[in-house]
Chain A
Amino acid sequence: MADWEEVKRLAADFQKVQLSSTTQKLSERNCIEIVSWLIDRKMLDLIFTSDGKEYITPNQLVSDIRGELYDHGGRINLVELAKVIGVDLAHINTYLNDVLKGNKEIQSVLGQLVDSSYLIRIAGEINEKLSQQGQINISDLTIQYDLPADFLQSQVVEKNLGKIIFGKQDKNDSKVYFTESFISRTKAKIKGSLAGLTRPTPITSILNNIDISEKLFFSLFDQTALYGTLTGRMTGAQYIPNVYARTQNEWVNHFYKQNGYLEFDALSRLGITDQKTYIKKQLVNQEYEILHSCIVSKSILERVDADIDECISSKSFIDLQNNLPSVFNQKDEEMILNLILTSQKRSQTILIENYLLSKAFVDKLLKDCESLIQEKAKNTVESGKYQQYQISLQAASSKNQKAEELEEKVDKREERRKKAAGGKSGGGTQGRETKTKSTKKAARGGNRNNSESDGGEKEEKKVLEIINFDDAKDVLQLPLEEEGIEDDILQQIIEYLLPKLNEDALQQAANIFATTIADRTANRRQTHNEIQSKLNALISDVRLFEKGLKLLSADIQAQLIKYLLKSVCTDIVTEILNYIASEQNLAPPTENLSNEQRLKFVNDLPSEYKHTILPVVKSLTGQSIEDFLMTVETALSACSMILKKIDKKKDRTLVLNHKYQLLEELNKSEDLALILHLAVVAIFTTATQTMLHCSGRHVSGVLSFLKQYLSDEQVMELISYHDFVTLMLSGGSEAENAKEKLKEKVSTIKKIANDFKKPGTEKS
């Protein structure tokens, strides 16, 4: 039975299994115990793995480390090593020395193990890189290989320099290596860029352009620096090409030689910062003066000096701006003048901005203004501004109440004077107007001198501005422009002159004022007298006329009275009114006033005049000469005039004079009608020893009155002449004829008149 066989076999197997020796196996715990016991007893030297499940013998560890190092291509981190081998890092560190001792090719660097094969490899790499880039820096390598710079330097690069790495160590910086070709390339670059530069250039921009490190540039610069210099060894330094320096110096020399001055600005534009020392260095043998913004040569100074001399001697001016190079600013000019002007010259010149004016020139200008001063001063005095000014001066000097009262008095007096002087515009308010005007002007003056202190401004206000800027300008502009002085400086000059002009003008005004006051008082008295005597004469005429009138018949008398009132009396009234008008500063009434105008004028007069004048004016339209004479007397007394007493003797001479006047006129006269008129009046005067005032119309009436004094033929002659005259004046066809006749008779008429003697005397 196969099954049983199988069972047998299985049974045999079972026996065999049971009889086979048992494996002598220790439990894990036991093992650990045994091992730790052994380690304790120092009978075994084992290293625990980090998971604690394995032991490693030190030898194994050392060989493991080496193996791993090899595995990792010659370089391994200790920490990584510990992980890979599975041993605590401490153990690796303890056995590191064993590893290194056994093999000189292995090195421990910064927690890493590195062997020589790796070093050779990176040396190769470095060489490759070096040949590619031309230069290499250890610090770059440090970053790339994560190895300390010293190590790389000493162990890798320097060891293999010339063997694996073909390059040169930088003498200045041992950490930099480069190839010969790189050096020469860089040098060429630097040379090229430097040779190309003509202007001072910051190093940084050069470096940016040629893409070279600063250090390299500076180390190579000395080997290439043929074309210029560096201002320093810093980043901010500048490269100054020799060409540039040379041209700069040349330019400076030439410019100075040519122009005689040298501007600091120009130098700084050229890039020279310390101009003064530079100039000192550059212009060694030159004589020059250092000014504010430039230097100037002696020759220019001499020229200016000469110019000023000439200016003084020629009594003109010089424009420094034009005479000096345009770069000189005001400060420079001042400095120059300080250098040049001796005190003597200084006294002869005046400096206004850029202009140097000789005293003489200024005096001339002042002289030009003299007429203006005169005129203005006169105007000022006449317009009363001067008086106003004086008052204000007084007011300013004494501020107490008393002074003010005084001022008021003065004011009034002044006002009256002004009226007397015949001010052009209305009376009462004028004073105040001018006052405000003047203060306004003064304020303007003050504004102009704003720069002055407050006190100065106050002072300024007090000064009357007689001549203002525009006036002076008007006068001076022309002569100054002829001299070639520009407008802006004109202003300056005028401003300079103005105070002087004003002072002069003020003086003038004072003089004029003094004289006018004297003049005016005298003048007034005179006119007053004149008018008085004139009025007296007229009035006495009127009186005499009246006397003559009374001889005539009543109807003619009335006519003649009317005529007399209209002519002579009206003249008298007009005269009086004129006088009053001038006295009151009113617009003088026109010559030929209608009665209404006259009345109106009188009504406008102040009451003191009005009461006395009004009856006079009214009497003009009346019928009585006596009324007129009476009223005139009172009116004249109101005008502070005296009517002379009636003097019979004087009347006589007056009548005589009148007669001779008439006869003289008669003899001279050619007018046919006038001859008759004059003849009749003359005869009347002679006949009655009175005067007659009549018009041609009254001639026939008078003639008929004269009949009693004349012979018949004379009367015939006169009447026939009169008829012809009336014929002639009436015009018509017979006018010419009558004229002829009259001409024939003129001599007879003249003769009659001349020969006529007073009948009384004839008779007696």
Chain B
Amino acid sequence: MVDESTRKTLSNIPLLKTKAGPREKELWVQRLKEEYQSLIKYVQNNKDADNDWFRLESNKEGTKWFGKCWFIHELLKYEFDVEFEIPVTYPTTAPEIALPELDGKTAKMYRGGKICLSDHFKPLWARNVPKFGIGHAMALGLGPWLAVEIPDLISKGVISYKEKSEK
């Protein structure tokens, strides 16, 4: 089950209405607009709450998304690339978010760096088709995962802090 703060952020992300996948030309545009609006709102919320933790952008059709996400641990900011594609069956199927940098570094990951989402995520998502969108996936999927895995990985020394200059 998601924790209290997650639930709160989730409730602040606007829900979507249009149920359409990338193949449906007309409706997908509609869906994409809603996705954007939802994301904008979500990002805005995050920034307002001083809780900005990712950057995203998509290709022209909005089927491929990529960007960065970061996690602050012990006053150090760990930054990771993030990418995912919109599945054809979207929005019935949730997008599979991947962190390629961490591929092979943790057990809770599929090949290609796709993160293993919690047992709760999928039924939750299924119940909320088509209301949930990309923002929700980020908030419910990636956010909790980072919060659990990154400190663990850091403590294991699997990942180490990289100065910004290195980047």
Q: Which residues of A come within 8 Å of B, CB atoms?
A: 1, 3-4, 6-8, 10-11, 13-15, 17-18, 20, 22-25, 27
Give the residues in chain A near B26, CB-CB below 8 Å.
Answer: 3
CB within 8 Å for A20 and B32 given contacts A10-B40, A11-B58, A15-B57:
no
CB nearest neighbor in B for A19: B55
Q: Which of B40, B50, B52 contacts A13 (CB 8 A)?
A: B40
Give the residues in chain B near A18, CB-CB below 8 Å.
Answer: 43, 52, 55-56
CB nearest neighbor in B for A13: B40
CA distance A619 to B31 in the complex (A): 194
Give the residues in chain A near B29, CB-CB below 8 Å.
Answer: 1, 3-4, 6-7
Q: Which of A3, A11, A17 contacts B47 (CB 8 A)?
A: A17
5 contacts between A and B (CB under 8 A): A1-B29, A7-B29, A13-B36, A18-B55, A23-B48
CA distance A27 to B49 in the complex (A): 9
**Given A7-B36, A14-B56, A25-B48, 19 other A-B contacts at CB below 8 A?**
A3-B26, A3-B30, A4-B29, A8-B60, A10-B32, A10-B36, A10-B37, A11-B58, A13-B36, A13-B40, A14-B57, A15-B57, A17-B43, A17-B44, A20-B47, A22-B47, A22-B52, A23-B47, A23-B50
Near A by CB (< 8 A), chain B positions 19-66 give: 26, 29-30, 32-33, 36-37, 39-40, 43-44, 47-50, 52, 55-58, 60, 62
CA distance A23 to B46 in the complex (A): 10
Q: In terms of DSSP, what is the predominant structure of the interface of chain B?
A: helix
B50 in contact with A14 (CB, 8 Å):
no
CB within 8 Å for A14 and B39 given contacts A23-B48, A24-B50:
yes
CA distance A17 to B40 in the complex (A): 7
CA distance A24 to B52 in the complex (A): 11
Give the residues in chain A near B56, CB-CB below 8 Å.
Answer: 14, 18
CA distance A17 to B42 in the complex (A): 10
CA distance A68 to B162 in the complex (A): 58
Q: How far is the CB of A655 from chain B (nearest CB, A)?
A: 191
Give the residues in chain B near A13, CB-CB below 8 Å.
Answer: 36, 40
A14 in contact with B36 (CB, 8 Å):
yes
A7 in contact with B40 (CB, 8 Å):
no
Q: How far is the CB of A721 from chain B (nearest CB, A)?
A: 197
CA distance A291 to B47 in the complex (A): 121
Q: Which of B39, B43, B49, B60 contacts A25 (CB 8 A)?
A: B49
Q: How many residues of B contact A (CB 8 A)?
A: 22
Binary per-residue interface labels of chain B (128-143) against chain A in the complex, 1 for a CB within 8 Å, 0 otherwise: 0000000000000000
Give the residues in chain A near B52, CB-CB below 8 Å.
Answer: 18, 22
CA distance A3 to B37 in the complex (A): 14
CA distance A1 to B28 in the complex (A): 13
Give the residues in chain A near B58, CB-CB below 8 Å.
Answer: 11
How many contacts A-B (CB < 8 Å)?
Answer: 52
Give the residues in chain B near A24, CB-CB below 8 Å.
Answer: 50
CA distance A23 to B30 in the complex (A): 31
Give the residues in chain B near A22, CB-CB below 8 Å.
Answer: 47, 50, 52
Q: How far is the CB of A134 from chain B (nearest CB, A)?
A: 72
CB nearest neighbor in B for A20: B47
Q: How far is the CB of B83 from chain A (nearest CB, A)?
A: 16
Give the residues in chain B near A15, CB-CB below 8 Å.
Answer: 57
Give the residues in chain A near B57, CB-CB below 8 Å.
Answer: 11, 14-15
Q: How far is the CB of B59 from chain A (nearest CB, A)?
A: 10
Q: How far is the CB of A31 from chain B (nearest CB, A)?
A: 12
CB within 8 Å for A11 and B36 given contacts A3-B30, A4-B29:
yes
A25 in contact with B50 (CB, 8 Å):
yes
A7 in contact with B55 (CB, 8 Å):
no
CB within 8 Å for A3 and B33 given contacts A17-B47, A23-B50:
yes
CA distance A25 to B55 in the complex (A): 20
CA distance A705 to B62 in the complex (A): 225
Q: How far is the CB of A540 from chain B (nearest CB, A)?
A: 182
Give the residues in chain A near B37, CB-CB below 8 Å.
Answer: 10
Give the residues in chain B near A1, CB-CB below 8 Å.
Answer: 29
CA distance A365 to B37 in the complex (A): 154
B33 in contact with A10 (CB, 8 Å):
yes
Give the residues in chain B near A10, CB-CB below 8 Å.
Answer: 32-33, 36-37, 40
Q: How far is the CB of B35 from chain A (nearest CB, A)?
A: 9
CB nearest neighbor in B for A8: B60
CA distance A484 to B3 in the complex (A): 137
CA distance A3 to B26 in the complex (A): 9
Q: How far is the CB of B160 from chain A (nearest CB, A)?
A: 25
CB within 8 Å for A7 and B44 given contacts A14-B39, A15-B57, A23-B50:
no
A7 in contact with B48 (CB, 8 Å):
no
CB within 8 Å for A7 and B62 given contacts A14-B36, A22-B52:
yes
Give the residues in chain A near B60, CB-CB below 8 Å.
Answer: 8
Q: How far is the CB of B108 from chain A (nearest CB, A)?
A: 27
CA distance A27 to B51 in the complex (A): 11
Q: How far is the CB of A15 from chain B (nearest CB, A)?
A: 6
CA distance A20 to B40 in the complex (A): 12
Give the residues in chain B near A14, CB-CB below 8 Å.
Answer: 36, 39-40, 43, 56-57
CB nearest neighbor in A for B58: A11
CB nearest neighbor in A for B26: A3
CA distance A6 to B26 in the complex (A): 13
Q: How far is the CB of A37 from chain B (nearest CB, A)?
A: 18
CB nearest neighbor in A for B55: A18
Give the residues in chain B near A6, CB-CB below 8 Å.
Answer: 29, 33
CB nearest neighbor in A for B44: A17
CA distance A24 to B47 in the complex (A): 9
Q: How far is the CB of B94 from chain A (nearest CB, A)?
A: 20
Give the residues in chain B near A17, CB-CB below 8 Å.
Answer: 40, 43-44, 47
Give the residues in chain B near A4, CB-CB below 8 Å.
Answer: 29
Give the residues in chain A near B62, CB-CB below 8 Å.
Answer: 7, 11
CA distance A1 to B26 in the complex (A): 10
Q: How far is the CB of A548 from chain B (nearest CB, A)?
A: 190
CB nearest neighbor in B for A2: B29
CA distance A133 to B46 in the complex (A): 74
Q: How far is the CB of B67 from chain A (nearest CB, A)?
A: 8
CB nearest neighbor in A for B46: A22
CB nearest neighbor in A for B30: A3
Give the residues in chain A near B48, CB-CB below 8 Å.
Answer: 23, 25
* Residue in B40, B44, B48 with the greatest tally of chain A CB atoms within 10 Å: B40
Give the residues in chain A near B39, CB-CB below 8 Å.
Answer: 14
* Residue in A18, A23, A27 with the greatest tally of chain B CB atoms within 10 Å: A18
CB nearest neighbor in B for A27: B50
CB nearest neighbor in B for A24: B50
